[in-house]
Amino acid sequence: MTDMGRWSINGSVRDASDNQALNGIKVDLEYRGVPIRSYYTQRNGTFEFNSVRNGDYTIAVNQDGYEPASVDLTVSGADVYAVSIDLKKANADSSPGASGATISAHELHAPPKARDAYEKGLDLVRSKAAYKDAIAQFQEAIKDFPDYYEAYAMEGAAYMALKDAPSAEAALRKSVQLSASHYFDALSLLAGLLNGTARYAEAQTTAQQTIALDASSWQGHFELARSLLALGHPADAETSALRARELKPDNPKVYLLLAKIHYTQRNSTALLQDCNDYLKVDSTSPVADQVRKNRDQLLAANPQLQTQAEAQPSSLPPTQTPVQTQPQAQPDESRPHLAPPQN
């Protein structure tokens, strides 16, 4: 979960005809019909937008060879998970299952009534941020299909959005149990919850399981770094955080975590680099204002760092720098003060 009234949107893009993940597909985040950010899908067709303010948005895909597709959603005080976009090939004949929600191999065993309730729950999360109503739909899906570990995971995510950690944990652990620890989303969410409730040893184990399932996903490395730092292993935490940065260089949370690690190590040069790189991916939020103040204080105390910083190239690949253009009018939101470095 992001800080200071900024949230994340994540999901995946697939071919509707065969449910195959589509990598390298441009996904646009639109506000009032204007594209404000773009992202190219990575392994497993995944995408993620970070530091998104509360408001109504559209996720749009216009890919050659496919019909245009879009999903409307609302960001309201929590991350938005599992946005699914299925692309239908242009000029393809309409057929059952050629469009609509992405169905996993496991979900194909679910009765239609259960799948319908699950999709209704997802829609309530995406478009209305109606988490309580969504939970009711996920529970209906589970009632009709008790092995529906995807529904348990999304129920857990909804409880996390409602700040109900005990209920979220129960749902996520049930998802992990039913999937025999093979469902990435459940493990990733559980690792974050365990870190957030200061159970770092459990979080470390869960994060390691997440990495074992998908070593190319930044979430597992990020959560592992969080737990290792809290357990007093900053060098190992740095290794994991650097891997997370390599996999997700446009995520401001990664740079805040690296800043915390380097602050712990008293590595002023690396800490300055973290601040500079953070400001390249988020230059306008209240967190960015605090990072800027901390950077200025660091430079005031260590003037020689400026020369070193100018001689050292940024660790953020220029091609990965996200579009920072924001619309002129954004919805109002609360912005409590929080001094970095934070997780």
Is residue 38 over pLDDT 90? no
pLDDT of residue 91: 66
pLDDT of residue 216: 85
Picking from 29-38, 55-64, 144-153, which range would have the lowest pLDDT averaged per residue? 29-38
Pairwise CA distance, residues 38 & 238, whole Å: 29
38: which residues sit within 8 A by CB, 6+ positions away?
26, 27, 28, 29, 322, 323
Asked if residues 12 and 84 have their Cβ atoms less than 8 Å apart, the reply is: yes
DSSP H/E element including 203: helix 200-213
pLDDT in tens, 144-174: 999 999 999 999 999 998 999 999 999 999 9
Sort strands 7-15 and 46-52 into parallel, antiparallel or unpaired. antiparallel
Q: What percent of the chain has pLDDT over 90?
A: 45
Domain extents in the chain? 1-87
pLDDT of residue 94: 40
- Residue 222's nearest CA partner among 197, 201, 198, 239 is 239
Of residues 64 and 289, more confidently modeled = 289
Angle, in degrees to the nearest 10, between helices 200-213 and 218-230: 160
**Residue 167: CB atoms within 10 Å:** 15
Is residue 43 over pLDDT 70? yes
In which residue are the tokens 């559209």 written?
58
Asked if residues 22 and 65 have their Cβ atoms less than 8 Å apart, the reply is: no
DSSP H/E element including 36: strand 34-40
Pairwise CA distance, residues 27 & 315, whole Å: 24
Pairwise CA distance, residues 76 & 198, whole Å: 25
> Residue 214, SS3?
coil
What confidence tier does 326 reach under pLDDT thresholds 50, 70, 90?
very low
The pair of structure tokens assigned to 26 is: 């441009």
In which residue are the tokens 């890919």 written?
63
pLDDT of residue 327: 35
pLDDT of residue 331: 34
Is residue 228 over pLDDT 60? yes
pLDDT of residue 21: 84
C-alpha distances (whole Å) from 260 to each of 3, 5, 111, 214, 227 are: 15, 20, 47, 25, 13
Of residues 170 and 89, more confidently modeled = 170
Picking from 91-105, 117-131, 254-268, which range would have the lowest pLDDT averaged per residue? 91-105
Mean pLDDT of the chain: 83
Instruction: Tell me the pTM.
Output: 0.71
Is residue 18 over pLDDT 90? no
pLDDT of residue 59: 92
What confidence tier does 248 reach under pLDDT thresholds 50, 70, 90?
confident
> Residue 180, SS3?
coil
pLDDT in tens, 103-160: 566 767 789 999 899 989 988 887 767 899 999 999 999 999 999 999 999 999 999 9
Asked if residues 138 and 155 have their Cβ atoms less than 8 Å apart, the reply is: yes
pLDDT of residue 287: 86
Name the fold adopted by 1-87. Answer: Immunoglobulin-like (2.60.40)
Asked if residues 261 and 234 have their Cβ atoms less than 8 Å apart, the reply is: yes
> Phi/psi zone of residue 266: left (φ > 0), alpha (ψ -120 to 50 degrees), beta?
left
What confidence tier does 5 reach under pLDDT thresholds 50, 70, 90?
low
Helices (DSSP H) in 8-61: which residue ranges? none
